[in-house]
Structure 1
Amino acid sequence: MCGWCCCLECIHNIPPLNLLFLHFSSAPRTGRDGEGARTLSPMASISVPDPAPSPTEDAENIRKAVQGWGTDENALIEILGHRTAAQRAEIAVAYEGLYDKPLLRTLQDELSSHFKGAMTLWTMDPAARDAKLAYKALRKKGGDRHAWVLIEVACASSPDHLVAVRKAYCSAYDSSLEEDAAACPLYKEPLKQFLVRLVSSYRDGGDHVDGELARAEAAELHGAVAAKKQPLHGDVVRIVSSRSKPQLKATFQHYKREHGKAIDEVLEGNRNDKLSAMLKTAVWCLTSPEKHFAEVIRSSIIGLGTDEESLTRAIVSRAEVDLKKVKEEYKVRYKTTVTKDVVGDTSGYYQGILLTLIGAE
């Protein structure tokens, strides 16, 4: 595999239009008729011109930006950084039709370093992007934080998006996400079982909540978490990996009402327990993803060096979903802004695409 660069031999055959917007369960479809800018998710941070140029016009301008002796990186940021996923997919189709070369391959050939990583991830179909991130997470040594990626993919978006990711994963890598997670030597039980259950789940997308079930399962969670038993034992895995998000929110509300403290606060107190930390990540991704992604951005910046992969992943994956909410959480928790920290820790065109996706503070 090729790091941040997308393995086009693997993903080129994934249809770019048929899996879009499953990621954005709260966002209506966008179009080219002037509706694009108005129908973005209210919590999306990107801005889209209204009306946007046609896919053909955008493709032609991208071609101009990459021809000749140098590449006009700012032009690429201005075009692709201000288009929705559906619009970027249309541009990709138009580009390949006009020039007989995939747009992603062009970006790989013309760009470099972290800027190339951010631009290629941003330009990809969201399901194919998450499939690639999951594939890397299952093969990358260096700590349990790579499990964050799998939890994000499974819990921080819609059930239909996870189905789309699993299809994209099979198409790209000739194996299933669930099987690869089960066979991954990097994760040990019970964390491995937890991750497998999360990535193989399909949660009911309805709004119905069973109050009695929420009360009973809040008691089960308390017995496992607060009583210092195994935080990822069978009952916890079953509840967190199978219940709908509204049902889980009700369960966590019962937990706090009955026991005086939110479950994530209890888990936060067990800082030295990796399994508690992973369960807290899942709870946040399921009910308050802005908390998790604010933490990802902060942890990627603080300390020696910058974790560009994590920083890119958080900003690219949430820019069309809820990055406004992430920025608000970040400001409250860390008393600074995402923009200020990104400016202080990045540079060049890489900084340019990140700031474009972050949008105004």
Structure 2
Amino acid sequence: MNPYQQGQSPYPRQQYLHNIGFSNTAPQSFGNPMPMPGFPTMGYPAPQPGYPNAQGYPQPNSGYPSSQPYPQPNQSYSQPNAAQGYPTSGYPQSAQSGYPQPAQSGYPQQAQSGYPQPAQSNYPQPGYPQPSERHQSSQYQGYPPHSHTPVQSQQSYSVSSGPVPNAPKSKPTVVPVNPFDPREDAAVLRKAMKGFGTDEKAIIQVLTRRSNEQRLRIAFEFKTLYGKDLISDLKSETSGKFEDLLVALMTPLPQFYAKELHDATSGIGTDEDVLIEVMCTMSNHEIQVIKQAYTAMYGNFLEDDLRGDTSGNFKRLMTSLCMGNRAEDFHVDQEKAREDARSLLQAGELRLGTDESVFNAVLCSRSFPQLAAIFQEYQFLTGHDIDDAIKAEFSGDLEKALRAIVKVVRNKPLFFAERLHKSMKGLGTNDRQLIRIMVTRCEVDLGDISDMFQSKYGETLASWIEGDCSGHYKKCLLGLLGLY
């Protein structure tokens, strides 16, 4: 069953977990915190280290993956789909096969486990591709080969002509505080809002120095101790942009992203910049969790709302990105990169008009390291950058989205630094964009974004915030940078 078909016949509506979160393998960790006595686990369990598709997709029957280590039998074996991130099916039942039991849960890793390789085993393998054939055919089609490297959230990648073993380390500005006492923090917040007046400094220092998970625990303890909703109290004690920022900090990030996407597509007009910023930067797993949160909150499928509010080739691009089906391995196949570069050249500059479908297919399905290699090969073939080619061949929202993907592949922190600069330059401030980036990136790479901002514009991000914002709103934003 498609997990987003719940509520439609014959699929019963499932219970929605309000504290749904992203996997702990992502730098921004929103789900499954370490359990505390008397506190329910939030979100999905962290993917087990042995699974080739360790992305934690929502399961069709509940909010948690099945406890069985192998899916049910009597289904055809489908190797590419297992590595691609679809719910795995077709693995033989452990009790009925000759495979030895693994010491830990999860599928064995081919590269390091003691399990026999398909070509070396005594089990019949009718119709299975040999390892060498599967290796050659899977890389280019968007299916990551089995690797001991776990799936990680996509960061900036430099152009490389060889394998990229790991994503570079990022610099968050907000990290989980340790030791952490949510009841003590709840008491501090209660004292700050009790009686006449509000101690905004205490509120800022607590909420900007805790991770998203920890803030949710504080809200849980706050309601337990005082019988009041923390968000409601914060809204009653604050106002304006400061209130908006505090509410954003207290919202589980999948729900926050879902609300941003919903607001961008509802009403008159569409905020395409929000769609581009979110859909072009999220990992597969993050997109899947956002889709589930969106359906639970608004009763519609995110894909349907995106398709209903966009048109033309931009609609097709958003639909492709909404599938959350990009390859996420770190292996770079240079020969396939050359083929793709030639395909992009033939679909654009070497023909009258442009075949948008080729650009859509390549930029929405190849992994970020592979795309970096494709862009390098394109420049080698043509003598100019692919960004220049996209500007010449496309226009409007489609051009902005394709160029955003190119920027994210090359340097994701720089992409967000440019977005922050755009939100504050000129007259007025795009506070919603500023809040969204500061809140969602502070636990991922806001330190890198700040460095890129200063490198490109010659001024610090903090100085721009101080010059463009004021009051407690400014202090809270600086607190997310670790400067208050």
TM-score with structure 2 setting the length: 0.63
| 1:169 and 2:294 are equivalent in the alignment | yes
Aligned twin of 1:6: none
* Preserved contact between residue 315 and residue 357 of structure 1 (Cα < 8 Å): yes
Q: How many residues align?
A: 338
- Deviation, 1:19, is 3.5
Aligned twin of 1:5: none
Q: Which runs of 5+ in 2 are unaligned?
A: 1-15, 37-168
* Preserved contact between residue 115 and residue 349 of structure 1 (Cα < 8 Å): yes
Higher gyration radius (CA): 2
| 1:358 and 2:481 are equivalent in the alignment | yes
Query: What is the rounded CA distance, in whole Å, between the counterparts of 2:459 and 2:350 in structure 1?
Result: 37
> Equivalences for 1:204-223 in 2 at 5 Å?
204-223=327-346
User: Residues 278-308 of structure 1: CA distance to partner in whole angstroms, max 9, x if unpaired?
Assistant: 2101222344221221111111111111111
Local SS of the residue matching 2:312: coil
Aligned twin of 2:182: 55
Aligned twin of 2:243: 116
TM-score with structure 1 setting the length: 0.83
Aligned twin of 1:36: none
Choose from 290, 304, 325 the match for 2:427: 304
Query: What is the rounded CA distance, in whole Å, between the counterparts of 2:316 and 2:246 in structure 1?
Result: 34
| 1:236 and 2:359 are equivalent in the alignment | yes
Aligned twin of 1:7: none
- Deviation, 1:94, is 1.6
Choose from 343, 354, 369 the match for 1:246: 369
CA distance change for structure 1 residues 327 and 232 in 2, over 3 Å: closer, same or farther? Answer: farther
Instruction: For 1:248, give the aligned amino acid.
Output: L
Query: What is the rounded CA distance, in whole Å, between the counterparts of 2:452 and 2:224 in structure 1?
Result: 42
Query: What is the rounded CA distance, in whole Å, between the counterparts of 1:218 and 1:322 in structure 2?
Result: 30
- Deviation, 1:229, is 6.5
Aligned twin of 2:219: 92
- Deviation, 1:32, is 10
Query: What is the rounded CA distance, in whole Å, between the counterparts of 1:89 and 1:224 in structure 2?
Result: 49
- Deviation, 1:77, is 0.8
Instruction: For 1:64, give the aligned amino acid.
Output: K
Query: What is the rounded CA distance, in whole Å, between the counterparts of 2:343 and 2:175 in structure 1?
Result: 44
Aligned twin of 2:207: 80
Query: What is the rounded CA distance, in whole Å, between the counterparts of 1:247 and 1:31 in structure 2?
Result: 35
CA distance change for structure 1 residues 74 and 286 in 2, over 3 Å: closer, same or farther? Answer: same
* Preserved contact between residue 22 and residue 31 of structure 2 (Cα < 8 Å): no
User: Residues 164-210 of structure 1: CA distance to partner in whole angstroms, max 9, x if unpaired?
Assistant: 111111111111111110111xx331112211221222223222333
Query: What is the rounded CA distance, in whole Å, between the counterparts of 1:152 and 1:285 in structure 2?
Result: 10
Query: What is the rounded CA distance, in whole Å, between the counterparts of 2:308 and 2:193 in structure 1?
Result: 42
CA distance change for structure 1 residues 236 and 354 in 2, over 3 Å: closer, same or farther? Answer: same
* Preserved contact between residue 154 and residue 198 of structure 1 (Cα < 8 Å): yes
* Preserved contact between residue 166 and residue 177 of structure 1 (Cα < 8 Å): yes
| 1:293 and 2:455 are equivalent in the alignment | no
Aligned twin of 1:103: 230
Query: What is the rounded CA distance, in whole Å, between the counterparts of 1:326 and 1:196 in structure 2?
Result: 28
Choose from 274, 283, 290 the match for 1:149: 274
CA distance change for structure 1 residues 27 and 80 in 2, over 3 Å: closer, same or farther? Answer: closer
* Preserved contact between residue 156 and residue 286 of structure 1 (Cα < 8 Å): no
- Deviation, 1:162, is 1.3
Query: What is the rounded CA distance, in whole Å, between the counterparts of 2:349 and 2:450 in structure 1?
Result: 31
Query: What is the rounded CA distance, in whole Å, between the counterparts of 2:215 and 2:400 in structure 1?
Result: 36
Query: What is the rounded CA distance, in whole Å, between the counterparts of 1:56 and 1:181 in structure 2?
Result: 41
* Preserved contact between residue 453 and residue 460 of structure 2 (Cα < 8 Å): yes
| 1:24 and 2:27 are equivalent in the alignment | yes
Query: What is the rounded CA distance, in whole Å, between the counterparts of 1:174 and 1:27 in structure 2?
Result: 23
Choose from 455, 461, 468 the match for 1:332: 455
- Deviation, 1:269, is 6.8
User: Residues 305-355 of structure 1: CA distance to partner in whole angstroms, max 9, x if unpaired?
Assistant: 111111111211111111111112111211111111110010001101111
Query: What is the rounded CA distance, in whole Å, between the counterparts of 1:43 and 1:333 in structure 2?
Result: 18
* Preserved contact between residue 31 and residue 213 of structure 2 (Cα < 8 Å): no
| 1:43 and 2:171 are equivalent in the alignment | yes
Query: What is the rounded CA distance, in whole Å, between the counterparts of 2:387 and 2:217 in structure 1?
Result: 41
Choose from 275, 285, 288 the match for 1:160: 285
CA distance change for structure 1 residues 123 and 270 in 2, over 3 Å: closer, same or farther? Answer: farther
Query: What is the rounded CA distance, in whole Å, between the counterparts of 1:109 and 1:28 in structure 2?
Result: 28
| 1:137 and 2:140 are equivalent in the alignment | no
| 1:181 and 2:306 are equivalent in the alignment | yes
Aligned twin of 1:320: 443
User: Residues 235-258 of structure 1: CA distance to partner in whole angstroms, max 9, x if unpaired?
Assistant: 111111222222222222222333
Query: What is the rounded CA distance, in whole Å, between the counterparts of 1:354 and 1:60 in structure 2?
Result: 23
- Deviation, 1:109, is 2.6
CA distance change for structure 1 residues 102 and 196 in 2, over 3 Å: closer, same or farther? Answer: farther
Q: Which moved more, 1:265-274 or 1:54-63?
A: 265-274
Instruction: For 1:290, give the aligned amino acid.
Output: P
RCO comparison, higher one (Cα < 8 Å, 6+): 1
CA distance change for structure 1 residues 32 and 174 in 2, over 3 Å: closer, same or farther? Answer: closer
Query: What is the rounded CA distance, in whole Å, between the counterparts of 1:198 and 1:337 in structure 2?
Result: 33
User: Residues 119-155 of structure 1: CA distance to partner in whole angstroms, max 9, x if unpaired?
Assistant: 1112211111111111111126567xx3232233223
* Preserved contact between residue 17 and residue 89 of structure 1 (Cα < 8 Å): no
* Preserved contact between residue 23 and residue 31 of structure 2 (Cα < 8 Å): no
- Deviation, 1:230, is 6.1
Root mean square deviation of aligned Cα: 3.1
* Preserved contact between residue 280 and residue 401 of structure 2 (Cα < 8 Å): no
* Preserved contact between residue 20 and residue 86 of structure 1 (Cα < 8 Å): no
